[in-house]
C-alpha cells in the first residue's frame, strides 16, 4: 500500500517514494519497465527490441528523473532484458545500492518440463542465472511471475525463503495471482515463519478495474504493495485507438493485449480527452495517456506504476504525468464512466454493511 511520501534521499524530483508493502524498502512511484529491452524475432520483438545503447539512454532518463525502481523478468527476451539492464547500470556507473532491482521467474527458459514453473529447482537455478545476467550478487525484489498449478505453494514459498536466507534475494513478491492465492500464500508464510510477501504486480487501468472486486480489499487488509503493469492497457489508453485520429499501426495491432472492452473504453477515453483539454505540463499539452497515469497515481492502493517506453520522448512524457493533480470533480467523472458493474457478493455485502451504519447512529 502507498504511504506518505518521505523527503527524497538524493534527488529533488516530483516523483516521491512509497514503502513497498509492509517493508522498509522505498521505491519511486514510477518504476522503469524493461519488457521493451532485447526482443528478437519472437513475441518479445513485437513489444520492443531495444538494444544496449538505446536502453542506456532510457535508463539514464529514468534515473535522472528520480526513478530508483527497475523491473524486468528472466523471460523478457529470454534473458536479454536482464543482461541489458545489468550492463546498463555498469555503463552508467550506477551504485548498486542506489537502485531497487526487481525481476521475475516462472516462464519457460528451456524445452524441458522442469525449465519452467515455480518449483524449487526452477526457482533456485533461475535466480542464479538472473544474478549472473544482472551482474549483481543480490536481487532486491524477486517475484513469482504467475501462479503455477503444478507446484504446491508451500514448495514455492520455501524456495523463496531459502534464497532470502542465502542473501541472494532481499524481498519477495507475486505477480498475476488471484486474491485467494495471495491470501493462502500469506497464511503459509505466517504459519511457517517464512519471509513475507510484500508486493503483488498486477494489471490495473481505467479500462481494467477488475482487481477492485477482491484483490484491492485484500491488499489493503494485509498491507501488500501494488505494482501496476501495463498502465496504458497495452497502448489503448494513449487514445490512438478511439477518436478522429485512430491508428492501428502500433503495438496493439500486432499484439492485442491486455483485452479491453472497447465499447466501454470509448466512453472512458472521451472523458479523459475532456479532462486533458486545456491542461499543460512544462508548456506541453497534457495527453490522454498522462491522464491515465495520473489517475493511477491518485489511487491509494497503488505503490508504483511500471512505465515502459521505446523512445526517450515517450518515457519523458510518462514521467511528466507525475506532476498532474486531478481535482475531486475530475476523479469523480473518471470513476463514474469507468466503474465496474456491480456483482455478487459485492452488492450484498454493501447492503448488509448498512446494518452497522445504522447501529452507529
Question: Active-site residue numbers?
Answer: 76
Q: What is the DSSP string of 305-336?
A: EEE--SSHHHHHHHHHGGG----HHHHHHHHH
Nearest Cα to Cα of residue 7 among 63, 47, 66: 66
In angstroms, the Cα distances linking 75 to 33, 35, 54, 126, 333 are 13, 9, 20, 10, 39
| Beta-bridge partners for 70 | 32, 101
| Beta-bridge partners for 139 | 169
In whole angstroms, what is the distance from residue 161 CA to residue 181 CA?
18
Torsional sign, CA 299, 304, 309, 313 = positive
Nearest Cα to Cα of residue 162 among 203, 211, 195: 195
Q: 3-state class of 65 per DSSP?
A: coil
Residue with cell 532518463: 61
Longest dimension (CA), the chain: 65
Amino acid at each position: 500500500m502507498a504511504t506518505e511520501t518521505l523527503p527524497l534521499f538524493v534527488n529533488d524530483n516530483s516523483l516521491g517514494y512509497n514503502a513497498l508493502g509492509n517493508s522498509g524498502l522505498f521505491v519511486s512511484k514510477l518504476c522503469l519497465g524493461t519488457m521493451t529491452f532485447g526482443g528478437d524475432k519472437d513475441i518479445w520483438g513485437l513489444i520492443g527490441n531495444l538494444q544496449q545503447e538505446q536502453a542506456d539512454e532510457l535508463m539514464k532518463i529514468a534515473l535522472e528523473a528520480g526513478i530508483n525502481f527497475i523491473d524486468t523478468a528472466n523471460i523478457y527476451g529470454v534473458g536479454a532484458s536482464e543482461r541489458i539492464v545489468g550492463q546498463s547500470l555498469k555503463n552508467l556507473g550506477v551504485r548498486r545500492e542506489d537502485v531497487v532491482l526487481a525481476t521475475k521467474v516462472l516462464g519457460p527458459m528451456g524445452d524441458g518440463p522442469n525449465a519452467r514453473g515455480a518449483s524449487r529447482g526452477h526457482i533456485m537455478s533461475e535466480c542464479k542465472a538472473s544474478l549472473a545476467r544482472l551482474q549483481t550478487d543480490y536481487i532486491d525484489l524477486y517475484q513469482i511471475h504467475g501462479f503455477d498449478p503444478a507446484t504446491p505453494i508451500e514448495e514455492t514459498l520455501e524456495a523463496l525463503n531459502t534464497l532470502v536466507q542465502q542473501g541472494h534475494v532481499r524481498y519477495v513478491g507475486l505477480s498475476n495471482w488471484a486474491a485467494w492465492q495471495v491470501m493462502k500464500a500469506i497464511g503459509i508464510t505466517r504459519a511457517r515463519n517464512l519471509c513475507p510477501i510484500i508486493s503483488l504486480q498486477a494489471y490495473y487501468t481505467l479500462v481494467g478495474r477488475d482487481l477492485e472486486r477482491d484483490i484491492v480489499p485484500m491488499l489493503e487488509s494485509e498491507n501488500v504493495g501494488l505494482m501496476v503493469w501495463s498502465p496504458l492497457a497495452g497502448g489503448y489508453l494513449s487514445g490512438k485507438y478511439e477518436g478522429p485520429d485512430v491508428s492501428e499501426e502500433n503495438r496493439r495491432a500486432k499484439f492485442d493485449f491486455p483485452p479491453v472492452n472497447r465499447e466501454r473504453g470509448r466512453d472512458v477515453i472521451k472523458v479523459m480527452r475532456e479532462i486533458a483539454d486545456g491542461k499543460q505540463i512544462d508548456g506541453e499539452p497534457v495527453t490522454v495517456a498522462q491522464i491515465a497515469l495520473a489517475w493511477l497515481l491518485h489511487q491509494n492502493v497503488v505503490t508504483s506504476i511500471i512505465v515502459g517506453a521505446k523512445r526517450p520522448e515517450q518515457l519523458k512524457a510518462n514521467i511528466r504525468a507525475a506532476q498532474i493533480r486531478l481535482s475531486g470533480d475530475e476523479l469523480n467523472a473518471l470513476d463514474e464512466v469507468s466503474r465496474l458493474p456491480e456483482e455478487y457478493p459485492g452488492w450484498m455485502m454493501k447492503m448488509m454493511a448498512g446494518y452497522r451504519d445504522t447501529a452507529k447512529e
